Structure 1
């Protein structure tokens, strides 16, 4: 007698995933990706793929939009890989909003860069030229 149809989703009746029963490894967190990229153990392409889908924590003021630092060579916007990193920089009661890395690239004003984890051990600075390159890379990946 032939076996019946597989349940929805293709998983065997026991509910265990197919392919040896091991779950897919989860992608590294943005903080892990920052560490790996800054130490040279992750490519720019892999970092950007993780950055694009990760949550980014941004301090905010009374008006909508990014808070920019203008006391740098180029204006930059502080951003953080976690609420803990943001609080270390801006204080426990600070206001913030959360967007994805892809939204950062879409919404960042022209001519601005950003700094990830400004007070962190693996601070990363992306000047406006690096941001342009990230946008170009994303467009090529999406549209060929």
Structure 2
């Protein structure tokens, strides 16, 4: 069919034996004038779109199997770094404190636990700190395979951490990061500013 109905309008097409006249040619202008005389003038449209009432020659897109009518992106959005990757990048200075805090805020943090609910703190340091871990593997390397733990988000850490305490991430890892009590206060202020302006 190639964009037009050969049977219904065969008498209206010029160009002889089924050949298309070149765009803008005298034959095409004559064809449009002939349609105009019969009250059927249709402006020139690209091939496959002749006729505005969906009769002949229109291409329809194949149905979208997802049903949503949207194309999937060619390249998916990259996933954000894991907390372990963030710890390494922050410890080596290749990540800003703001970017690290964005990752920390939404990540799962593994915390050792004792017999009673709450954080376990280390008091053998200059200031008391609470050990926390980016992965269960890091926690097991520090506390043993049978150790008890709980999991919370970084945002919950900042909300629940007792006043005057800092925390250390991945204390036995290759890249350890320590936040003293003052740094924790700054992290809380930054998180509050980011959420509430």
Normalised by the size of structure 1, how large is the TM-score? 0.89
* Structure 1 segments unaligned to the other structure (5+ residues): none
C-alpha distance in 2, partners of 1:35/1:120?
Answer: 9
From 9, 24, 27, the counterpart of 2:77: 24
- Stretches of 4+ moved more than 2 A in 1? 1-8
C-alpha distance in 2, partners of 1:76/1:47?
Answer: 19
C-alpha distance in 2, partners of 1:116/1:11?
Answer: 42
From 89, 93, 102, the counterpart of 1:36: 89
CA drift of 1:91 comes to 0.3
C-alpha distance in 2, partners of 1:133/1:108?
Answer: 13
SS of 1:69's equivalent in the other structure is: coil
Structure with greater Cα Rg: 2
Normalised by the size of structure 2, how large is the TM-score? 0.66
1:92 is matched with 145
Q: Does 1:54 align with 2:107?
A: yes
CA drift of 1:81 comes to 0.4
C-alpha distance in 1, partners of 2:86/2:168?
Answer: 15
Asked which structure has the greater RCO (Cα within 8 Å, sep 6+), the reply is 1
1:1-144 correspondence to structure 2 within 5 Å: 7-8=67-68, 11-12=70-71, 17-18=72-73, 21-144=74-197
C-alpha distance in 1, partners of 2:70/2:133?
Answer: 38
CA drift of 1:72 comes to 1.1
CA drift of 1:142 comes to 0.5
C-alpha distance in 1, partners of 2:70/2:144?
Answer: 47
CA RMSD in angstroms, aligned pairs only: 1.7
C-alpha distance in 2, partners of 1:39/1:123?
Answer: 10
